[in-house]
Structure formats: C-alpha cells, structure tokens
Amino acid sequence: MKRFRTISNFKKRVLIVDDEDINRQILGNMLSETYDVDFACDGKEAWERLNEDGSDYSLILSDLLMPVMDGFELIEKVKADPVLKAVPIIVITSDKESEVRSIKLGAADFIKKPFGMPDVILARCERIIELYEDNTIIRSAEKDHVTGLYTRDLFFEYVRQIEVHQKTLDMDCLVFNIDHFHLVNEMYGRETGDAILKKVADTITEVMEEHASLACRTEGDSFYLYCEHQEKYEALMDRITEMVGSDQGPAKIRLRAGVYQDADLSLDPETMFDRAKLACDRIKGDYTVTVAYYNKELYQKAIYQEHLIENIDQSIEDEDFKVYFQPKYDITGDTPKLRSAEALIRWNHPELGMISPGEFIPLFESNGLIQKVDNFVWNKAASCIREWKDKYGYSVPVSVNVSRIDIFDSKLEEKLQNILKNNGITEKDLMLEITESAYSDNADSLTEVANRLRDRGFMIEMDDFGSGYSSLNMITTLPIDVLKLDMKFVRNMEKDEKSLKLVELIIGIAGFLDVPVVAEGVETESQLLKLKKMGCQVIQGYYFSRPVPASEFEEFIKKECV
C-alpha cells in the first residue's frame, strides 16, 4: 500500500516487463538514456513492484505471453486500480489478435516484436507519456496542496479499493486532530499554521513508513489514516507528538487521535471514519489522554445522542420539555423571604422518560441546538411571570440560563426584548444567568454583550463562580449584578477548611463591591447558617425546595401574597 505515496522524480520512470532477458536488454538500452528504467520478469513481479511505488511510473512496457502472470492479467489489474490506472501501458506483441485484445483492455499502444528502429520506439514512448500527462495533472489536483497528502475524496476512493482487493487484512481507521488549531492560525498567522499541518502530515507519513498505510487531510486540522491493525497507538502518538514538537517554532500544539480498530469492512469508509472521529471528539479538551478507542459503549452513546437530537423539535412542539422553578431565598432577615427563582429545563421524553439536563444540555451546547431549548425556556418563564402577575398581582423575578452560543447571537437582545414585549413584562422580571466559564473563554466579547444587556436594564448573574478559571479580581472588572457561588464550594465547605476560607473570601470581596452572592446547592440548615454568618444574602437549594413545576411554584407566590 505504500505505493500511494507519490514522489515525482526528475527523470521519468519506466517499467519494462518481459520474461526474456534479451528483450529486456534491448528495450532497456533504447530507453535508459531518456528514462529511469526498471525491469520485471513477469506480470506478478511487475504487479509487486507497482504496488510498492507504482504511481511513480510514467509508463509500463509489457510483454503479453509470460509465465506466472501474463500481460493481459497485468493490464486488467493495473486498469482496475484507482492510482495505477493513470499509468499508460504499451504492450510488446507479435500477433495482431493480441493487439486488439490488449487495446480493449486499456493498453495505450503496442510495439511489435522483433523491435524496429530505436528512434521510433523512443518517440512512441514519449508520445504516450505526453498524452497521459493530463492524467498526472488531474492527479496532482487531487492532492492537498498544503500537505501533499491525498484529498478526502480520493482517500475514500482508495480505501474502497483496498477493501475490494484486500479483504483479508485487519485494518484500523484513525482520525487525528490538533487541539485549538484555529488559535495557532490566529496567533501566528496562516503560514505558520500551514507549516504545522505539513509537518504533521510528513511526520505521520514517516512514522507509518514501515506499515501499510494511507493518509489524507480532511477539513482544516483533521488527518485520516487507514492502516494495518496495531494493538496500541499510544507509543506511536508519543513519537508523532515529539517529532512534530521538535521544530514547530513558537506555537505549541497538541495532537489527539481517535481509533476505530479492526474496521468492519462491510461498512462504507465514511461510516468507519465517523467512528474514529467520534472517539477523537470524545477526548477533545481532555489533556490527560491523547488516544481514544472507539467501542460499543461509545457507539451506543452516539446512537442515543442522535436520537435526542432528532427528537428536539417534536418535543418542543409537544411540550415534552417542561420548565421547572427553583426558589431563591433572601436570608438576611430573621425569616427567609422569597426573592426570585431560577428556571430549569426538564425533558419528559415520550420513550426515554425523564432525562436530566446534565445529559442533553452539554450535547445541545456542542451543536448549537441549545438555542432552541433556551428560547423555549425564556418564553415559558416569561409567560408564567405574566400569568402570576395577572392572577396574584405579584411575581418574583425569574432567572433564565443563557448559553455561550446565545451570547454570540447577534439577535440576542432583539429576541429577549420581543419576549418581554409579548408578555408585557420588564427587564427586571427576567434575569440572565451566564456561566463563569463563558467569561473566561472570551472575556472581551462577553463583557461587551453583558454591558449592552445591562444598559437595557437586564440584571446579569454570573453562574457557577469558581468552577472555571476566572481569578478573584475578575469580579472587580466584569459587568455583573449578582454572583452565584459554584455548588462545589457549598458542598466542600464543611469538609475542608480551605473551601470555607475561600467562600469567606469571595463573599467578602463581593460585599466590598456591593455585589450580592447567591449560594447554590444548599441542602442543610448548618450550611445555611454558616453562609449567613459569612454575609451571603441569597440561598438556592434543596433546603428550601427542589426545582418544581410551574403549578407547584405558584404556591410559593401565593404564600408571599398573604
């Protein structure tokens, strides 16, 4: 399979196939000044040679009647091969009938035995090579210009061919990806980016030299490799990483791979590589592993997720999604007072039953579908607020979760404004929770959006504070109205002194900045008392209530009205 790597030589290469030594010598003498000439004694030897580096030949000259494998079979095999078929074949023959048959099989021309004038033979060879050069141009267009590897289409074509011809091989599919490659392009420029891609391609090719393999680059920073089965790929990845790392200049990159081993060759190549890609995607952002293997579990998870994705529209339409409300209590006074609520989505799937947001939110965040869910929740929350106001003349503000993707939607403000208008409520009724990690991802643009929303009168709550990488002093610069302490602090507060101290510190700084702190996940009275003592103003958690359906939350509102 190594034949798939094409290297262009200055002197064009010609393969002479003939079982008679004298014929090889005569033809060789005629052509060796102009071409780099190789020889084979029969079709089988020629085929083996072509399989090693066949795409480098510009011409094959072949006898027809030979032992082991004759010329006809060789022509047939060459013409059935996606790479080799571009190499012209001139047959060496002595009878008319064979000429016709070989031309029909795909031979480009024929030379009669015994050989005639050397000049004429050389001219015929040159003409045929020239004629076929068009094919070479087509072939070079099928190469990726950045890395010199094959393009995705051609790669899949070859994989298909290998499957047809070499059914007995155990093959593995690998997908390589470079973490955060877009950042390399942004920070160091396209040229550096391209040089890294080339280096990765060269390294993969070099490392795989001893193995039958085939590689291509697909979109951007993804490489596909089809190769003979290996038990493990960690050592190989280490070698690649080390080699790529050795001279990539200032940009540090990290490569990860997904492997689908012992590929089921009855699948189409795209599906086989989708499986490797699935494994590769699974370890995106995970810095502890560089290789992930596709397995049944992963397959089932993918099927399950696919199922969820397919059902989303229908579920929105059928209202299988429900919005639950969890109260937040002000604990500054003697008795806790209902202050606001958080709207949290629930999915009562028609076949799968209740699905936790932990399962579908990250999935929908990864593919953008979260916007549909969020829009649904925002509308639902707004209409509940309206309903409660109508019924009781009173409601508490409700916070909704705003995902990363929502924030960079240029229509975000318009969408929110429309929801308020349609329900006759104000910015003070609908508060917005934005998770801390969104801030650390893209602080500048997020600050800009948050500022605009605040200018319009919305209150911004920073969710899960302490879960990401923001430093404490970020609170001083970010446009936020409320800080929601990440649940893990509350959970650990009573277990270790450090967490307790940290909570104290955060509440202290927030107090100094006049930003109220909401503690989430408060389940016990002792947690509540500790937080209260530290100056935390608002509590959300099972201690007061789990998230409940709108009809149940109405009871909390009612109570406030008496």
Footprint of Ca ion (CB under 5 A): 401, 433, 463-464
Q: Which of 377, 434, 493, 534 binds ligand C2E (CB under 6 A)?
A: 377
- 326, interface contact from ligand C2E, Ca ion, none, CB < 5-8 Å by kind: ligand C2E
Build a one-symbol-per-residue string for 379-418: x at contacts with ligand C2E by CB under 6 A, - elsewhere.
Answer: ----------------------x-x---------------
Stretch that binds ligand C2E, among 21-29, 121-129, 131-139, 514-522 (CB under 6 A): 514-522
The identity of residue 21, as a single letter, is: D
**By C-beta, is 42 or 464 nearer to ligand C2E?**
464
Could you give the C-alpha distances from 382 to 188, 345, 450, 480, in angstroms and in order?
Answer: 46, 14, 20, 22
Position 164, amino acid: V
Q: Please return the burial class of 318, using the count of CB atoms within 10 Å of its CB with bins 0-12, 13-18 and 19+.
A: exposed
CA distance 410 to 155: 39
Quote the tokens at residue 335. 């008795």
CB 240 within 8 Å of CB 196: no
The nearer residue to ligand C2E, 515 or 522, going by C-beta atoms, is 522
- What's the closest the beta carbon of residue 373 comes to ligand C2E, in angstroms? 6
Interaction between residue 518 and ligand C2E (CB under 6 A): no
Query: What's the CA gap between 38 and 348, in Å, rounded?
Result: 71
Point out which span in 201-209, 333-341, 515-523, 524-532 binds ligand C2E (CB under 6 A): 515-523
User: Among residues 206, 72, 240, 226, which one has the least CA distance to residue 155?
Assistant: 226
Residue 45 interacting entry, from ligand C2E, Ca ion, none, C-beta within 5 to 8 Å by type:
none
398-402 and 353-355: which strand pairing? unpaired
Judged by beta carbon distances under 5 to 8 A according to partner kind, the member of ligand C2E, Ca ion, none in contact with residue 394 is none
Tell me which stretch binds ligand C2E (CB under 6 A): 25-33, 292-300, 413-421, 537-545: 537-545
Ramachandran angles phi, psi of 266, nearest 5°:
-80, -10
Closer of 521 and 535 to ligand C2E (Cβ): 521
Least separation in angstroms between CB 552 and ligand C2E: 14
Q: What is the DSSP letter of 524?
A: S
State yes or no: residue 542 binds ligand C2E (CB under 6 A): yes
Cβ nearer to ligand C2E, comparing 147 with 326:
326
Q: Is 464 in the site for ligand C2E (CB under 6 A)?
A: yes
- Return the SS3 of 287: coil
Residue 541 touches which of ligand C2E, Ca ion, none (CB < 5 to 8 A by kind)? ligand C2E
**What SS3 class is residue 350?**
coil
516 prior amide bond cis, ω within 30: no
The closest alpha carbon to 27, from 43, 42, 16, belongs to 16
Q: For Ca ion, which is the closer residue by CB, 401 or 423?
A: 401
Report CA dihedral (352, 358, 360, 363) to the nearest 10 degrees: -140
Shortest Cβ 285–Ca ion spacing (Å): 20
Task: Write down the least CB distance from residue 479 to Ca ion, Å.
Answer: 18
**Which is nearer to Ca ion, 27 or 518 (by Cβ)?**
518
- Give me the amino acid identity at 524: T
Core vs surface per residue 322-361: b (16+ CB within 10 A) or e = bbbbbbbbbbeeeebebbbbbbbbebeeeeeeebebeebb
CB-nearer residue toward ligand C2E: 250 or 358: 358
Position among 148, 357, 479, 511 found at the interface with ligand C2E (CB under 6 A): 357
Give every strand in the sheet of 57-63, ordered side by side: 36-40, 13-17, 57-63, 89-93, 109-112
Rg (CA), the chain: 34
**13-17 and 57-63 as β-strands: parallel, antiparallel, unpaired?**
parallel
Task: Closer to Ca ion by CB, 102 or 401: give it.
Answer: 401
Site string for ligand C2E, 294-333 (x = CB under 6 A): --------------------------------x-------
Q: Is 547 in the site for ligand C2E (CB under 6 A)?
A: yes
Amino acid at 137: I
H helix or E strand, kind and range, residue 467: none
Cβ neighbour number for residue 242 with a 10 Å cutoff: 10
For Ca ion, which is the closer residue by CB, 37 or 344? 344
**Alpha carbon distance 477, 451 (integer Å):** 11
Member of 488, 523, 535, 548 binding ligand C2E (CB under 6 A):
523
Token pair listed for 345:
């989505």
Q: Which of Ca ion, ligand C2E, none is residue 436 near (CB under 5 to 8 Å by kind)? A: none
Residue 340's binding partner among Ca ion, ligand C2E, none (Cβ under 5 to 8 angstroms by kind) is none
- Asked if 370 is part of the footprint of ligand C2E (rule: CB under 6 A), the reply reads yes
CB atoms within 10 A of CB 317: 9
504 binds ligand C2E (CB under 6 A): no
Q: Which of 59, 200, 263, 361 binds ligand C2E (CB under 6 A)?
A: 361
| Tokens (6 digits) for 513 | 């900045």
Strand order in the sheet with 171-178: 213-217, 222-228, 171-178, 255-260, 291-293
| Closer Cβ to ligand C2E, 51 or 379, answer by number | 379
Q: Is residue 291 a contact point for ligand C2E (CB under 6 A)? A: no
- Pick the closer one to ligand C2E by CB: 482 or 522: 522
Alpha helices in 173-230 (DSSP H): 181-188, 190-207
| CA distance linking residue 550 with residue 324, whole number of Å | 6
Choose between 22 and 354: whose C-beta lies nearer to ligand C2E: 354
Q: Which is nearer to ligand C2E, 333 or 358 (CB)?
A: 358
344 binds, among ligand C2E, Ca ion, none (CB under 5 to 8 A by kind): ligand C2E
Which residues sit at the interface with ligand C2E, rule CB under 6 A?
A: 326, 344-345, 356-358, 361, 370, 373-374, 377, 401, 403, 463-464, 520-523, 540-542, 547
